[in-house]
Structure formats: C-alpha cells, structure tokens
Amino acid sequence: MSLKMSAVTHIPVLLDEAIEALAVQPGGRYIDCTLGAGGHAAAILERSSPGGQLLGIDADPEAIKVASARLEACKDSALLVNDNFAHLQSICLKYDFFPVHGILLDLGLSSLQLASNERGFSFQHDAPLDMRFSPTQEITAADIINTFPESKLTHIIKEYGEEDYSHQIVRRIIQKRPIRTTLHLAKIIEQAVGGRRGRIHPATRTFQALRIAVNQELEHLPSVLKQALSLLGFEGRLVVISYHSLEDRIVKQFMQRESKGCICPPQAPVCVCDHIACLRPVNKRVITPSAAEVEFNPRSRSAKLRAAERITIEDDYHKAAEGLCWAMDVEAEGWRRPSLLKKLRVAFSAPQLN
Ligand SMILES: C[S@@+](CC[C@H](N)C(=O)[O-])C[C@H]1O[C@@H](n2cnc3c(N)ncnc32)[C@H](O)[C@@H]1O
C-alpha cells in the first residue's frame, strides 16, 4: 500500500519499536490515540494491510487535517476523529470500534505544533500564550500565567517542569503581570534566573509545565489508560511512548498494578482486593531510542516506550462491551461490516451473544 506523504516534518519516535510492541498483524484493528502527523498511523496501516483498520484520534483539528492528507491512500481503512482521548470509550462505542488488537499513545506535542507561529508552544516565535491542543478548550496558558495564585503557579512550574527556580520565576511573573506573549514570558524567566544556565534555554521547563497544565495531560493519562484496558481484546497490546518522567511513572505504575493478581497492602493477612491481573508486560525493561535515533531526531531523546498485553477479558465492563459489539445490529457496509465482526470474533474467541 503506498502512502501519500504531505509536507510533514514530525518524525515518528521509536517507530519500529512501537510497531513491534503493538504486534501489528494483517487484518488487525488498531487505535492511535495521538494521531499527530500520522507517522505511526501510516506504519500501522501499512503493516495491518490487507484488511487492517485504524481509528486515529487527535484533539488538534490541524493534526487531523495533516494526517488526513497523509493517509489519503488508506482512507477506507482509517477513521479519523477530532476529539480528546479522555473520551476514548465513548468514541469507540460511537463507531463500534472495539475490541481492538492494539492501542498506541505517543504523548505530548508534535513538531508541527511546536513549530507553529501562532500556537504559543515555543519561545522561538512571538505568539499569544495559548498552548491549547484544541481551540475548544477554555483555559489558555495566558489564563494560567495571569490569573493563577502564586502557590498554584509555583506547583505547576516546580512539579510539571521539574524546575529548581520555580519560586524565583513565579515571583517575577507576578510582578510583571499581565504577560501576553511567548517572548515576553521567556524574557521574564531569563531575568528571573539570571540569564542562561547550561545548554537549555531557562524558559524550556516553564513552557513544558504550562503546556502540561493547559492540556491537563497528567489528568487525562490515567483516565485513557483505564479506558484502553476495557477496549483491548484478548492478547491486544497497549503501547505508550512518553517524554516526561511523571507521565512515564503513571504508565509504569498502571502497567505494574494491572499485571498483579493481588494489590492488597503487603501487611494484609489475607487477600481482600479481588483484583485480577489483566495485563502482562511485553518487555522486561523500558525501551528508549538508540543513539542513532537520538542523533537523527534529537526530539526523541527523552522518549520511553512501555508495552503490555491484555491477558484476561474477565472484568464486567469488558464483557458488557464485547456483548454490545457482537449483539449490534450491523449494517452491510462501512465501519459495521458483518465480515469484520466475524473476523474479530474469531480473532478474539469472544462469546457470541444472541
Ligand atoms: C507526539 S504527537 C504524535 C505524533 C504521531 N505519533 C506521529 O507519528 O505523527 C502527539 C499528538 O497527540 C495529540 N494529543 C495530546 N494529548 C491529547 C489528548 N488528550 N487527546 C487527543 N490528542 C492529544 C497532540 O495534539 C499531538 O498531535
């Protein structure tokens, strides 16, 4: 299958590793929760051909436009949805897109968003302090900078930005409010920390922290992981690429917890949790980019990939979701093809409900 390339400048990170971890197979059904410029999605469609299907989600309408152009040649196999992955379950229910063989999350922002002159993600261009992935979101970076109290702003910059100079930066921000543009904010931060220190620009960490806060990235991640679990078929794979230590910790702890049979505190004399292990880690260690990838694409340097496989489909929600899928009054064409459902039923050995 040939995939038409548009003028895409985002280089997909850990591409081969992600495809391998997803165990992409012909005829499989996959969700890319962070479509971006469609780099991973294109590879998934290529590897799952013939018969593969992809649901691609992105909160950013611009990303959907770019990815649609890129995936034009596969448009019959790809359904692209402009929404937040925090709504993953309802999106899948709406399009009858479950259970699936694999779900990918490649977190954070794309190089296209970073390079945009208007979105305010970067202090390389002067732009309004926006940083929203979606224009439908209410709170912008300017709202946070100009209205949040000192303690809340310090928490964001210290925790999400892992910034040692958070107090100095916030004190200076509060003195200089209102702050409307990226370059104005970058200058204030530079002054607050007394000029450049080390290789990275002193505003880098604060900008990262603001983006995480604006897009509620650390709130949406645990939610989407939980939802993903209920959409995976037996032996379906969950693959997450993260770029921030707090995100990686959430993913690691989620996969560890869901791989355990009992999650009672160690001092509990008998198990009372009734927890069932429903994941199996695919790799013993976290996967990071090779030196060659980092040299070719420096943006990949902080990437961490974790993958797990669904080993049981025993929880109630999953049973109900599968039941809904098989009992659905399917149409002859499009996303509800009976032949596809039949194939999936065999693939997942799912119970057939009448
Ligand atoms: C690193 S990029 C993905 C790049 C993509 N894998 C590729 O190969 O082109 C992350 C994308 O996820 C999107 N994104 C981040 N958080 C999201 C969320 N909560 N819901 C939907 N999309 C989100 C961003 O808008 C961005 O386009």
How far apart are the CA of 152 and the centre of ligand 1, in A?
26
> Looking at per-residue confidence, does 207 or 347 come out higher?
207
- CATH 1.10.150.170 for domain 138-214: yes
Q: Is 198 exposed, middle or buried (0-12, 13-18, 19+ CB in 10 A)?
A: exposed
User: Using 50, 70 and 90 to split pLDDT, how confident is the model at 135?
Assistant: very high
- Residue 36 CA to residue 279 CA, distance in Å, equals 27
Q: Give percent above pLDDT 90 in the chain.
A: 74
- Largest Cα–Cα distance in the chain? 70
Is residue 337 over pLDDT 50? Answer: no
Q: Kindly report, residue by residue over 29-66, the tens digit of the pLDDT.
A: 999 999 999 999 999 999 999 999 999 999 999 999 99
Question: What are the phi and psi torsion angles at 102 (to 5°)?
Answer: -165, 150
Residues facing residue 238 across a β-bridge: 103, 308
* CA gyration radius, the chain: 22
Tracing tokens 């229910």 back to the chain, one arrives at 93
Give exposure, 256-289, as e/b (b: 16+ Cβ within 10 Å): eebeeeeeeeeeeeeeeeeeeebbebbeeeebeb
Best residue among 89, 110, 219, 300 to mutate for probing ligand 1's pocket (most ligand atoms within 8 Å of CB) is 110
**Does ligand 1 have an atom closer than 6 angstroms to the CB of 220?**
yes
| Ligand 1 near 40 CB (within 6 A) | yes
Q: What pLDDT, on the 0 to 100 scale, is given for residue 313?
A: 61
Distance separating alpha carbons of residues 189 and 206, to the nearest angstrom:
8
CB distance 108 to ligand 1 below 6 Å: yes
CA-to-CA distance for 342 and 326, rounded, in angstroms?
9
Which CATH number applies to 15-111+218-348? 3.40.50.150
The pLDDT of residue 274 is 77
Distance in Å, CA 31 to ligand 1 centroid: 12
Q: How far is the CA of 113 from the centre of ligand 1 (A)?
A: 10
Separation of CA 281 and ligand 1 centre (Å): 24
Q: Is the CB of 120 under 6 A from ligand 1?
A: no
Structural domain spans, the chain: 15-111+218-348, 138-214
Residue identified by tokens 């970073």 is 114
183 CA distance to ligand 1 middle (Å): 25
Separation of alpha carbons 32 and 39, rounded Å: 10
**What is the distance between the alpha carbons of residues 137 and 120, in angstroms, rounded to a whole number?**
15
Q: Is 91 in the pocket of ligand 1 (CB under 6 A)?
A: no
Instruction: Flag the least confident range among 129-143, 241-255, 329-343.
Output: 329-343
Q: Are 241 and 304 in contact (CB under 8 A)?
A: yes
Residue 79: count other Cβ atoms within 10 Å of its Cβ: 17
